[in-house]
């Protein structure tokens, strides 16, 4: 692979073309979708376990969540998941789930639903959401805001107002540890809930750096050949 990339790169440079290779990020980006109307995502009480929530959740046996302390006086939250259920302090990492726990509860592919409790349209903002493999110390998926998620019509009723996903754990070792990490601010009403919903679309794929570079280089070489042919025809 590396030798082929060098040959293509050398060909382009010899032709006087500039090779611009962008390395993809290590984490696959999560798509934030919403606001979701009509109470169609969830509800949490139907086999959709919480991972971070300031409320009582109906959980599968042995599947806990961070039951964090909510208050309208708190301007920002920096919360990690944990299991079994416990109240984990702001910015403190909880105990990871295993891949086997997650796939046993929701399957290998799922969404993260966010039940928002803030009615102010210009209020609550999602800053960050991450899915972290603690065994390999890798951020598998992330969403980077800020994006306003407040102002929903059906706040605090157990259904998801926004979704993040799709997240796929396919190919990971069953013993790998997984943490969820959410950062948001300006929540002014009741506690927010982040819960998992089985299914979703196809997982987001990130091309390997060398494959991505080969693709860019190949496209550049094709353009060079096309220009040479046009000049010959003239």
Q: What is the pLDDT of residues 139-158, one digit of tens each?
A: 999 999 999 988 777 766 78
Whether the per-residue pLDDT at 19 is higher than 70: the answer is no
pLDDT band at 121 (very low <50, low <70, confident <90, very high): low
3-class DSSP state of 20: coil
- State how far the Cα of 22 lies from the Cα of 200, in Å rounded to an integer: 29
Whether the per-residue pLDDT at 49 is higher than 50: the answer is yes
| Range from 52-61, 79-88, 224-233 carrying the lowest mean pLDDT | 224-233
Whether the per-residue pLDDT at 199 is higher than 80: the answer is yes
Q: Note whether 163 and 36 are within 8 A (CB).
A: yes
pLDDT band at 5 (very low <50, low <70, confident <90, very high): very low
pLDDT in the model for residue 120: 67
Cα–Cα–Cα angle for 224, 9, 218, nearest 5°? Answer: 50
Phi, psi of 200 (to 5 degrees): 110, 180
Task: Using alpha carbons, select from 27, 13, 44 the residue that is nearest to residue 217.
Answer: 13
Preceding peptide of 191 cis, ω within 30°: no
CA count, 13 A, side-chain hemisphere, 17? 20
Q: Note whether 192 and 67 are within 8 A (CB).
A: no
The secondary structure of residue 92, as a DSSP letter, is -
pLDDT in the model for residue 79: 96
Whether the per-residue pLDDT at 205 is higher than 70: the answer is no
Quote helix, strand, coil % in the chain, to nearest 5.
20, 30, 50
Burial of 98 (0-12, 13-18, 19+ CB in 10 A): middle
| Range from 12-16, 38-42, 65-69, 122-126 carrying the lowest mean pLDDT | 12-16
Give, in order, the Cα–Cα distances in Å from 152 to each of 41, 56, 78, 100, 177: 14, 21, 22, 34, 33
Determine the average pLDDT of the residues in 26-31: 93
Q: What is the pLDDT of residues 62-85, one digit of tens each?
A: 999 999 988 766 788 999 999 999
Q: Sketch the domain layout of the chain as residue ranges.
A: 1-24+208-234, 27-206
Q: Note whether 55 and 44 are within 8 A (CB).
A: no
pLDDT in the model for residue 186: 81
CA count, 13 A, side-chain hemisphere, 112? 27
The token duo for 212 is 């991505």
Whether the per-residue pLDDT at 111 is higher than 80: the answer is yes
Q: Note whether 92 and 152 are within 8 A (CB).
A: no
β 138-148/28-29 pair status: parallel
- Give the count of beta carbons closer than 10 Å to the beta carbon of residue 218: 14
What's the predicted TM-score (pTM) here?
Answer: 0.74
Determine the average pLDDT of the residues in 200-223: 44
pLDDT in the model for residue 91: 95
- State how far the Cα of 155 lies from the Cα of 171, in Å rounded to an integer: 36
pLDDT in the model for residue 126: 95
């Amino acid at each position: 692979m590396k030798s082929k990339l060098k040959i293509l790169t050398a060909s382009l440079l010899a032709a006087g073309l500039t090779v611009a290779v962008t390395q993809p990020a290590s984490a696959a980006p999560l798509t934030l979708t919403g606001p979701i109307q009509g109470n169609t995502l969830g509800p949490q009480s139907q086999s959709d376990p919480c991972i971070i929530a300031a409320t009582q959740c109906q959980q599968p046996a042995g599947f806990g969540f961070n039951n964090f302390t909510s208050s309208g006086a708190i301007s920002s939250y920096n919360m990690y998941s944990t299991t079994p259920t416990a109240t984990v302090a702001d910015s403190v990492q909880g105990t990871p789930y295993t891949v086997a726990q997650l796939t046993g509860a929701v399957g290998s592919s799922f969404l993260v639903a966010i039940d928002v409790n803030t009615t102010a349209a210009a209020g609550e903002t999602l800053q960050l959401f991450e899915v972290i493999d603690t065994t390999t110390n890798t951020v598998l998926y992330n969403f980077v805001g800020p994006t306003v998620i407040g102002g929903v019509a059906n706040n605090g009723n157990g259904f998801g107002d926004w979704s993040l996903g799709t997240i796929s754990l396919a190919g990971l070792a069953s013993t790998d540890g997984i943490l969820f990490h959410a950062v948001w601010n300006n929540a002014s009403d009741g506690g927010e809930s982040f819960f998992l919903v089985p299914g979703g679309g196809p997982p987001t794929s990130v091309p390997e750096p060398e494959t991505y570079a080969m693709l860019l280089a190949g496209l550049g070489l094709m353009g060079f050949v096309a220009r040479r042919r046009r000049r010959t025809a003239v």
